[in-house]
Amino acid sequence: MSDCLFCKIAAGEIPSNKVYEDGSVLAFRDINPQAPTHILVIPKEHIADSAAQITEGNSAVVAHCFEVIAKIAAQEGLSDGFRVITNAGAAAGQTVPHLHFHILAGVSMAEKLL
Ligand code: 5GP
Ligand code: ZN
């Protein structure tokens, strides 16, 4: 989608602090981190605005996102634990309508929402 921020980041039209990249997935550091480690993992292709649009037809790249998340957790040394969040829709706090997964780590989240 031409007017999508994360499509532009995936295409390299907007710079990002990349953590991992392969043919179908990109991971980069959040511009406004909510934890000492805050990384966004996105399918490069705009397969869905949010998790509400994941289907049998597009979920293979979602599974790959989670393989990448495990790799990043090892690469970043997140052995103490990490949280993966996806916001779907405005009421959930989603601000960028391109499916993405937040990896958060480096602070104890045991007492928080989940
Ligand atoms: P959402 O609220 O949609 O779940 O998450 C969107 C995330 O994208 C937010 O945490 C926000 O800080 C991040 N973000 C927004 N614009 C940019 C940008 O231009 N670059 C990077 N690296 N992150 C961004
Ligand atoms: Zn997009």
Geometric angle at alpha carbon 8, from 5 and 10, rounded to 5°: 110
The separation between CA 42 and the C-alpha centre of its own chain, rounded to angstroms, equals 5
CA of 28 to the centre of ligand 1 (A): 10
Instruction: Calculate mean pLDDT across residues 24-47.
Output: 98
Would you state the pLDDT for residue 64? 98
CA distances from 60 to 12, 19, 21, 30 (A): 23, 21, 17, 24
Cβ neighbours for 54, distance < 8 A, ≥ 6 positions apart: 48, 62, 99
pLDDT tier, 111 (very low <50, low <70, confident <90, very high otherwise): confident
Would you state the pLDDT for residue 42? 98
What pLDDT digit, counting tens, does each position of 38-96 carry? 999 999 999 999 999 999 999 999 999 999 999 999 999 999 999 999 999 999 999 99
pTM check: above 0.95: yes
What pLDDT digit, counting tens, does each position of 83-93 carry? 999 999 999 99
Residue among 19, 29, 30, 34 whose CB has most ligand 1 atoms within 8 A, to mutate: 30
Residue among 4, 20, 32, 50 whose CB has most ligand 1 atoms within 8 A, to mutate: 32
| Residue 64 among the catalytic residues | no
Q: Which ligand is nearest to the CA of 7?
A: 2
Quick one: the chain helix, strand, coil %, rounded to 5?
25, 20, 55
